[in-house]
Structure 1
Amino acid sequence: MSDPRRVGRQPTASGGRVGSQPDALQTAIERSQLHLLGLQKPEGYWVGELMVDSTLCSDMIAYHHWDGKVDKTWQRKAVNHIFSMQLPDGGWNIYYGGPPDINATIKGYLALKLAGVPVTDPRMLKARQVALSLGGAPRMNTFSRLYLALLGLFPWEYVPTIPCEVILIGKWFHVNFWEMSSWTRSMLVPLSIINHFKPTRRPKNITLDELYPEGYHERDLALPPDPQGFTWRNFFIWLDRLHKFAEKFAEHNIHPFRKRALKKAEQWMLERFDGSDGLAAIFPAMLNALIALKALGYPDDHPEVIRAERELKRLEHETEDELRIEPCFSPVWDTAIVTICLHESGISEQRPAMKKAVDWLISKEIRFRRNWQYKNPATVEASGWAFEYENNWNPDEDDTAMVLLALRKVPTDNPRWRDECFKRGL
Structure 2
Amino acid sequence: MTGADPLAGIEAGVHRAAEALKRLQREDGHWVFELEADATIPAEYILLRQHLAEPDDLVLERRIGNYLRRIQGAHGGWPLFHGGAFDISASVKAYFALKMIGDSTGAPHMVRAREAILAAGGAGASNVFTRILLALYGEVPWKSVPNMPVEMVLLPRWFPVHLSKMSYWARTVLVPLLVLQAKQVRARNPRGVTIQELFLPKTRRGQRQLSHRKAGWALFFNGLDAVLKGAEPLWPRNARERAIAWCENFVRERLNGEDGLGAIYPAMANSVMMFDALGYGEDHPDRAIARHSIEKLLVIREAQDEAYCQPCVSPVWDTALTCHALLEAGEATHAKSVERGLRWLKPLQELELRGDWAEEHPDLRPGGWAFQYRNGHYPDVDDTAVVVMAIDRARSRLGLEGFDEAVSRGAEWTAGMQSRNGGWGAFDADNDHGYLNNIPFADHGALLDPPTVDVSGRCVGMLAQLGEAPDSPRMRAAVEYLRRDQEVDGSWFGRWGVNYIYGTWSALCGLAAAGLGPEDTAVARGAEWLLSIQNSDGGWGEGCESYRLDYRGYETAPSNPCQTAWALLGLMAAGRVDDPAVERGVTWLLRAQDETGLWDQEVYTGGGFPRVFYLRYHGYARFFPLWAMARFRNLRRSNTQLPAWGL
> What is the TM-score normalised by the length of structure 1?
0.88
Mapping for residues 15-414 of structure 1, pairs under 5 Å:
21-69=6-54, 70-201=56-187, 203=189, 205-214=192-201, 218=204, 220-221=205-206, 230-250=215-235, 254-255=236-237, 257-274=239-256, 277-320=259-302, 321-348=305-332, 351-367=335-351, 368-377=353-362, 379-411=363-395, 412-414=400-402
Shift of residue 224 of structure 1? 6.3
What's the CA shift for 1:88?
Answer: 2.0
| Distance in structure 2 (CA, Å) of the matches to 1:171 and 1:301 | 36
State the one-letter code of the partner of 1:357: G
Q: 1:230 to 1:417 in 2, by over 3 A?
A: closer
How far the C-alpha of 1:276 sits from its partner, in A, is: 6.3
Q: CA deviation at 1:205?
A: 5.0
Verify the 8 A CA contact 1:366 1:385 in the aligned structure 2: yes
1:249, CA displacement in angstroms?
Answer: 2.7
Aligned residue in 1 for 2:627 = none
Give the Cα separation in 1 of the matches to 2:129 and 2:406: 43
| Percent identical residues | 33
RMSD of aligned residue pairs (Cα, Å): 2.3
Q: Deviation per CA, 1:44-103: give whole Å up to 9, x if none.
A: 211111022121111111122222223222211211111111112221011122111101
Of 410-419 and 295-304, deviating more is 410-419
Cα pair distance change 1:276/1:77, threshold 3 Å = closer
Deviation at 1:419, TM superposition (A): 4.5
Segment drifting more, 39-48 vs 117-126: 39-48
The 3-state SS of whatever aligns with 1:184 is helix
Q: How many Å apart are 1:300 and its aligned residue?
A: 1.4
- Give 1:323 deviation, angstroms: 1.4
**In structure 2, what is the Cα distance between the partners aligned to 1:21 and 1:363?**
43
Distance in 2, Cα, partners of 1:315 & 1:309:
11
Instruction: Say which SS state the counterpart of residue 257 (structure 1) adopts.
Output: helix
Residues 294/275 of structure 1: CA separation in 2 closer, same or farther (3 Å cut)? closer
Judge conservation of contact 1:165–1:261 (CA < 8 Å) in 2.
yes
Contact in 1 for aligned 2:131/2:140 (Cα 8 Å): yes
Q: Distance in 2 between matches of 1:21 and 1:354?
A: 28
Amino acid paired to 1:414: G
Q: Distance in 2 between matches of 1:338 and 1:355?
A: 12
CA distance in structure 2 between the partners assigned to 1:229 and 1:37 by the alignment: 50
CA contact (8 A) 1:350 1:410 kept: no
| 1:202-260 deviations in Å (ceiling 9; x for gaps) | 645533222112268x5x5356699x99522222222221221232234xxx3452111
Q: Is the 8 A contact 2:320 2:387 kept in 1?
A: yes
Deviation (angstroms), 1:350: 8.0
Q: Report what 1:15 is aligned to.
A: none
SS in 2 for 1:317: strand
Q: CA deviation at 1:274?
A: 3.5
Per-residue deviation at 1:25?
1.9
Distance 1:127 1:280 in 2: 33
The answer as to whether partners of 2:316 and 2:345 remain within 8 angstroms in 1 is: yes
Distance 2:7 2:23 in 1: 25
> TM-score, normalising length from structure 2?
0.59
Deviation at 1:154, TM superposition (A): 1.3
Q: Cα distance 1:94–1:156, how it changes in 2: closer, same or farther (>3 A)?
A: same
Structure 2: gaps spanning 5 or more residues: 415-647
| CA offset digits 1:289-328 (Å, max 9, x no partner) | 1111111111112111111111101111223322111111
* Alignment check: 8 A CA contact 1:369 1:382 kept: yes
- Bigger Cα displacement from structure 2, 166-175 vs 191-200: 166-175
The residue identity in structure 1 corresponding to 2:365 is E
Structure 1 Cα separation of the partners of residues 372 and 50 of structure 2: 29
1:43 is displaced (CA, Å) by 1.9
Question: Larger relative contact order (C-alpha < 8 A, sep ≥ 6)?
Answer: 1
SS in 1 for 2:35: coil
User: How far 1:27 sits from its partner (Å)?
Assistant: 1.2
SS at match of 2:299: strand
Q: Tell me, in whole angstroms, the C-alpha distance in 2 between the residues paired with 1:130 and 1:76.
A: 24
Contact 2:364 2:413 in 1 (8 A): no
Kindly provide the amino acid, as one letter, of the partner of residue 369 in structure 1. R
Measure the CA separation in 1 of the matches of 2:78 and 2:161. Answer: 36
Q: Is the 8 A contact 1:87 1:93 kept in 2?
A: yes
State how far apart, in whole Å, the 1-side matches of 2:333 and 2:357 are.
Answer: 33
The runs of at least 4 consecutive aligned structure 1 residues that moved more than 4 Å come to: 222-226
User: Tell me, what secondary structure is at the counterpart of 1:410?
Assistant: helix
Cα gap change, 1:293/1:363 in structure 2, threshold over 3 Å: closer, same or farther? same
Going from structure 1 to structure 2, the CA distance change for 1:99 and 1:223 (only over 3 Å counts) comes to closer
Q: CA deviation at 1:273?
A: 0.7
Q: Could you tell me how far apart the structure 2 residues matched to 1:132 and 1:164 are?
A: 33
- C-alpha distance after superposition, 1:2-44 (max 9, x if no partner): xxxxxxxxxxxxxxxxx96532222111111101111112222
